[in-house]
Every structure is written in structure tokens, then in C-alpha cells.
Amino acid sequence: MNYTLPEGSFTLFPAAWQDATMNILRDEESGLALVVSRGPIPDGSDFEQEFHRQWEMLRPQMGEIEQGDFMRVSAGRERTIRAVEVETVFTRNGQSQWQKQLALQAPEQPVLLVFTLSAQHAFSEQDAQRWETIKQTLTLNDNRNV
């Protein structure tokens, strides 16, 4: 298996590898962080079911939590990417956290992609515009590393 990352690529020995990596991008000026995480979608499930399942596992660990509705949305330049979005505010270790999440399935792969925009302050109108830009400029590649 050839595995590609922004800095280069390498070959792994033959095995049933699953990409469960995370990319974390931070902007010190705005105080925003964007995390892109990947994980397998089990057989018999889909990206929506897996996203909900993961939330059910995480919710008890999050302390005080306020969560909006899970909304089906369309992302991408042509709005053809099926996704689920949710906004959450929770307290962890006495610190409030604001999150916007977008979950979708990688093209032609049983892989859940979750984009999480987070801040330690309430989102501003500018933050909301930045989130919309991320969602509407999203493009997905069929870059299977197999």
C-alpha cells in the first residue's frame, strides 16, 4: 500500500490498513481550530449512522452539553456532497468549547470524514462565514491509498 500525505509518501507492508489519521489546523489570530478526522464505517452502516454512534459514545464524556439538531446538508462547490452537520457547546474541565461539525463519507470508500471547527469562544458572524466557506469549497478526491 502506498500512503500519501502532504509532505510525501511511503509504502507499507501488505495488511488491512485503515486510515484513522487526524489533521489539525489552527489559526492563533481568530482562535479557531479545524480538525479533520477519518475512521472506518463498519459493514452494514453508513456515514450518518456511524456519526450518530460516535456521538452517543462521546456524549457522556462531555459534561454539560447543548447540541443543535443533526441536519442533512449539501456541501461542495456544486452542493453535491451529502453530509450531516451539527453545532455543539459543551464544557470540559471548566472551559466552554464551541463546535461546528460536518460529517460525510469519502468517495467510493467506507470512510467517515468529520470536519470539526472549534473555538473557546462563541462563534462570531465572521466565524460562521468562514465555516460556510470551508463547506462550500470542499472537494473530495478518490485518492484511495490501496
pLDDT 10s digits, 36-63: 999 999 999 999 999 999 999 988 888 7
pLDDT 10s digits, 75-112: 999 999 999 999 999 988 889 999 999 999 999 899 99
Say what the pLDDT of residue 125 is. Answer: 98
Residue 22 lies in a domain: yes
Helix (H), strand (E) at residue 135:
helix 125-136
Give the other-Cβ count within 10 Å of 4's Cβ.
10
**Contact indicator for 98, 89 with CB cutoff of 8 Å:** yes
CA 10 to chain centre: 25
Residue 9 lies in a domain: no
Residue 2 lies in a domain: no
Residue 92 lies in a domain: yes
DSSP category for residue 105: E
Helix (H), strand (E) at residue 89:
strand 81-92
For the entire predicted model, the pTM comes to: 0.89
Reported confidence tier of residue 113, pLDDT bands at 50, 70, 90: very high
Q: What is the CATH number of the domain that holds 86?
A: 3.40.1000.10
What is the C-alpha to C-alpha distance for residues 70 and 35, in angstroms, rounded to an integer?
19
Per-residue cell: 21: 489519521
pLDDT 10s digits, 3-42: 887 788 899 999 988 888 899 999 999 999 999 999 999 9
Residue 8 lies in a domain: no
Residue 19 lies in a domain: yes
Give the other-Cβ count within 10 Å of 73's Cβ.
15
- Region of 99 (left: φ > 0; alpha: ψ -120 to 50; beta: rest) is beta
Say what the pLDDT of residue 143 is. Answer: 61
Domain count, the chain: 1
For residue 30, give its domain range: 15-136
